């Protein structure tokens, strides 16, 4: 099995666990209007969640071992750092270098126009953001390619 396939299985298992948790949460109480109300048996769902959790833990362990064996951890860390940087910079890239606001007066009368100026160089932030986004895309493609080339360790 390729590393990429294992990562897809992790997502699938997490989805199954979430679905079972939803079933459990929707069946935690019943209204006792009559004596013949059927109370759901959660044991089967608990058992299935336990099996899936064990399979998920084993699969994640194998993924980590594979990443270590093929020296992918530094690339994953680099990817996470770049992703955080892009997210952080995006917040500031949306700020306008100069904008105007109207203040005072009621219903548009006697209002004064005030200039608002960013406290940092927005153009420089946007330039840095674009460079980080480009690097992130390249790193993502590299990791995706390697995920399909690397076999999952046993």
pLDDT reported for residue 32: 64
SS3 of residue 61 by DSSP: helix
Residues 78 and 129 in one domain: yes
pLDDT at 76: 95
**Same domain flag for 92 and 52:** no
- Tens digits of residue pLDDT in 62-73: 999 999 999 999
Of the residues 36, 69, 102, which one is the last residue of a structural domain?
69
Backbone angles phi and psi of 153, in degrees to 5: -70, 155
Q: Are residues 84 and 140 both part of a single domain?
A: yes
Judge if 45 and 61 occupy the same domain.
yes
Grouping H, G, I as helix, E, B as strand and the rest as coil, residue 16 is helix
Domain region containing 64:
1-69
Helix (H/G/I), strand (E/B), else coil: 37: coil
Q: Are residues 93 and 152 in the same domain?
A: yes
Specify whether 46 is located in the same domain as 20.
yes
List of residues 6+ apart from 72 with CB closer than 8 A? 66, 143, 146, 150
**Is the pTM for the entire model greater than 0.75?**
no
Phi, psi angle pair for 102, to nearest 5°: -105, 135
Four-CA torsion 51, 52, 56, 57, nearest 10 degrees:
-30
Q: For the chain, what percent of residues have pLDDT higher than 70?
A: 88
Same domain for 5 and 43, yes or no, is: yes
pLDDT score of 145 = 96
> Tell me: the pLDDT tens digits for 27-71?
676 666 667 767 667 888 899 999 999 999 999 999 999 999 999
């Amino acid at each position: 099995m390729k590393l990429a396939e294992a990562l897809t299985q992790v997502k699938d298992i997490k989805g199954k666990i979430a679905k079972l948790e939803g079933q459990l949460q929707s069946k935690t109480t019943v209204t006792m209007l009559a004596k013949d109300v059927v109370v759901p048996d959660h044991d089967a769902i608990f058992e299935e969640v336990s099996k899936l959790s064990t399979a998920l833990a084993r699969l994640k362990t194998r993924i980590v071992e594979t990443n270590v064996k093929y020296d992918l951890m530094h690339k994953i860390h680099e990817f996470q750092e770049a992703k955080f940087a892009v997210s952080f910079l995006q917040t500031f890239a949306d700020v306008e270098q100069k904008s105007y606001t109207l203040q005072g007066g009621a219903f548009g009368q006697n209002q004064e126009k005030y200039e608002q100026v960013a406290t940092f160089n927005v153009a420089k932030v946007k330039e840095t953001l674009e460079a980080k986004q480009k690097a992130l895309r390249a790193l993502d493609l590299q990791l995706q390619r390697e995920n399909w080339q690397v076999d999952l360790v046993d």
